[in-house]
Structure 1
Amino acid sequence: MKPNRFILLPVLFMCFLLIMEVSCKSAKPEPDIAGEYATGNGGDPQGGATLFVLPDHRFVVIFFGGASMGSWEIKDSTVLFKPKVKQAGFDLYGKHNPKLGDSIRVFFEGFDTAGGAAIGFDASSKNVKQVFNDSPNCTEFPYIGKFAGQPTKIVLTARPVDQGGSIVAGSEWQIYTFDNADHYNDFIARYETAHAQEQSQDFNAEIKNGKLYFDGKESKRKPLSDAKGELKAIKQLLNISLDPETVWYNPYFKEAEPGVEKDTLNYRFDKQKNAYISFRNYLEGEENKSEKDGDYNGMNVVYRYGKLPVSKSTGQVRLDSKPLFTAKCRGE
């Protein structure tokens, strides 16, 4: 028997209304938590931080000596904050330095953490030299290596390490081969390991009566305001890449904030020095002072380093285990 469509239509319509009613009841509006919070948590290793929660599900934590940023979501009555974390591995940045002549210089950043990282200049032979001794401690700053010649390939390699800093058993060498097609001779080598990252960078807050509680303590909310340009600065931080194509350092290897080349009110490019100069404050020759006598925090001279392209592989290397640097505490 053929069903009567005039009977079915009202039934279907009633089902539709029932589904819509259930959906509306279950789809509760998300609490408005956007604002500025003073908190002793917020992923801050120093214990005190200012947390900016944006309505677009992004956040920034400002703490002593740094900042962290990422995304947030609400599950039940809990706000989950997930900071962006840079992937473990190597990056290499370079620039031209006429003072070095027929040699190169490498500033090693993060190589003293773990993993027995090594450097080499022959991609075919895979001959590499260990940068630090095993389990370095009482390290100083900066660690700079100088090498003869101007290689077209630079190899950085290490075996992966776990959160405790131990080399993963049975693991192969992670080999990063950088192409120095631009013939740079002054380098920033960065090494990020899982050991260098905190075991748990995520943090959370509880929502109670429209307020946020961190570790059981209420954090008072202030409205987001751009009266002093803070909100604009926060959004600029959110746009900073964890994997930039360009980095900026002063002569004493302190990293500068990006955007120096756009700050024409304070900086001009000096072609001879291959640097951006703070023309209001710069004293001729100040960049030539030693690391001991120079101003580590000064940004009167800022160099641009460009990222080198890389190919990645795994395998074995020929390791010279005598390290370039030995970092040990007295008495060891």
Structure 2
Amino acid sequence: MIKKRLNTLLLILTISLSSFAQNLQPYLGCYRVSGDARLVLAENNIFYIVAYATFFQGNWHIENDKLILNPHNPEHFFELYGRYNPNIKGGYKIKFDGFSEEETFIGKDNSDAMQRVFNKNPNCFESAYLQHFNKESDVISFVDVVSENIRDYDRRNTYSFPINKYNDFIAVYNDPRHYNYEMIYPFPKTEKGIIVEDLEQFGKMKMTDKLRKEMDEIIKMGEKMKPKDTLYFNPAYRLFDEPSMNISRDYSFDRSKNAYVSKHNYEKDEELHPEKKQDAYHSKGILYQYDKIPPTKIEIKPFKIIEKSIFTANCAGDE
């Protein structure tokens, strides 16, 4: 009797899931939104929006004849990736990405003072910003400017990260002004297509081999852009996408360098003298693995500001 009931429940569940999938099937495909912008509604309720200099993705579902898009945003405003660098004999270094977009600060866990990363209103930027620090604490902390102008965002949280065994870091600031928020569109089906809120045509594009190929490329791009716990950079800090390479086949791990060395185009000590290698920025000769470090604390923490910034980015003549 129990087995019979279990089989019945499984049958009902299978039918329900099948019906749900069939209900979504008519919506799958590529839509022309406005101009050259494209919206792809893919299986597994993943959507992609592609336009000029714009690409983001998230989850979608249909509810009461409405299309609801929930974009994926970075989990934290600050991220830290680290590795052990045997060439650093004392302290640690940090490469800062995105910190110039807002007023951002760095501090140590045993101090209530936070130092500006960039001067106020920075401009005239260089290609990379690196700084070496003496190890005065086992924790690195970041915070951004206090503001009330950003939706759903209390910009007072201090993020603290443990240094652990690492001494070579890449710090990333995800400015929430660039975050995407939930979008809701009336989505009634008509013979001509689907009508959006402003009554302009939200037309579903006719599937062709060319369009199918473009959609496959968009989905692959989305896979590459998903958050990763491990990143690979060369000594010039160019990020390489691991799925597009075959590290186990084309590289050997060198313990003394704590790096993956190419079996094909590595030049001796190129990581120590990258300027000697032609087009060092694009070189795949040696790759460093950086591991994502989760924050140990995210808390509102009063702090004093050290106004003298680590970096100064000013055009000539600007104050």
> Which bracket does the TM-score occupy, shorter chain normalised?
0.7 to 0.9
2: CA distance, partners of 1:278 / 1:50: 39
Offset at residue 284 of structure 1 (A)? 3.3
Offset at residue 228 of structure 1 (A)? 7.4
Which deviations, in whole Å up to 9, do the C-alpha atoms of 1:55-77 show, x marking residues without a partner? 33212345666742211223565
Structure 1 residues 313 and 290: CA distance shift in structure 2, 3 A: farther
Structure 1 residues 137 and 298: CA distance shift in structure 2, 3 A: same
Task: For 1:172-321, list aligned pairs within 5 A.
Answer: 173-182=156-165, 184-197=166-179, 202=183, 207-209=189-191, 211=193, 216=201, 218-222=203-207, 231=216, 234=219, 237-238=222-223, 241-242=226-227, 244-259=228-243, 263-287=247-271, 288-290=273-275, 294-309=279-294, 310-321=296-307
Question: 2:33 touches 2:202 (CA, 8 Å); kept in 1?
Answer: no
Q: CA RMSD in A?
A: 4.0
Query: Which one is further off, 274-283 or 233-242?
Result: 233-242
Q: How many residue pairs end up in the alignment?
A: 290
In structure 2, the residue matched to 1:81 is: 69
SS at structure 2 position matched to 1:99? coil
SS at structure 1 position matched to 2:176? coil
2: CA distance, partners of 1:151 / 1:194: 28
2: CA distance, partners of 1:212 / 1:238: 28
Offset at residue 186 of structure 1 (A)? 0.5
Task: For 1:51-130, list aligned pairs within 5 A.
Answer: 51-61=39-49, 67-75=55-63, 78-114=66-102, 116-121=103-108, 123-130=109-116
Which deviations, in whole Å up to 9, do the C-alpha atoms of 1:70-125 show, x marking residues without a partner? 112235655343321114521211111121211311001111111x221123x122
Question: 1:79 touches 1:205 (CA, 8 Å); kept in 2?
Answer: yes
Offset at residue 286 of structure 1 (A)? 3.5
SS at structure 2 position matched to 1:265? helix
Question: 1:110 touches 1:191 (CA, 8 Å); kept in 2?
Answer: yes
* Identity %, equivalent residues: 25
In structure 1, the residue matched to 2:27 is: 33
TM-score, with structure 1 as normaliser: 0.70
Offset at residue 222 of structure 1 (A)? 2.3
- Relative to its length, the structure with more helix (as a share) is 2
Structure 1 residues 263 and 67: CA distance shift in structure 2, 3 A: farther
Larger radius of gyration between Structure 1 and Structure 2: 1
Query: Which one is further off, 85-94 or 205-214?
Result: 205-214
Question: 1:90 touches 1:191 (CA, 8 Å); kept in 2?
Answer: yes
Offset at residue 142 of structure 1 (A)? 0.8
Which deviations, in whole Å up to 9, do the C-alpha atoms of 1:187-233 show, x marking residues without a partner? 011112322435x57485855426457863635242699x9797498
Which deviations, in whole Å up to 9, do the C-alpha atoms of 1:159-207 show, x marking residues without a partner? 4445569xx9xx784222221222x111011112322435x57485855
SS at structure 2 position matched to 1:53? strand
Question: 2:158 touches 2:299 (CA, 8 Å); kept in 1?
Answer: yes
Structure 1 residues 111 and 231: CA distance shift in structure 2, 3 A: same
Q: Counterpart amino acid of 1:34?
A: L
Question: 1:249 touches 1:303 (CA, 8 Å); kept in 2?
Answer: yes
Offset at residue 280 of structure 1 (A)? 2.8
Q: Which runs of 5+ in 1 are unaligned?
A: 1-27, 42-46
Structure 1 residues 90 and 293: CA distance shift in structure 2, 3 A: farther
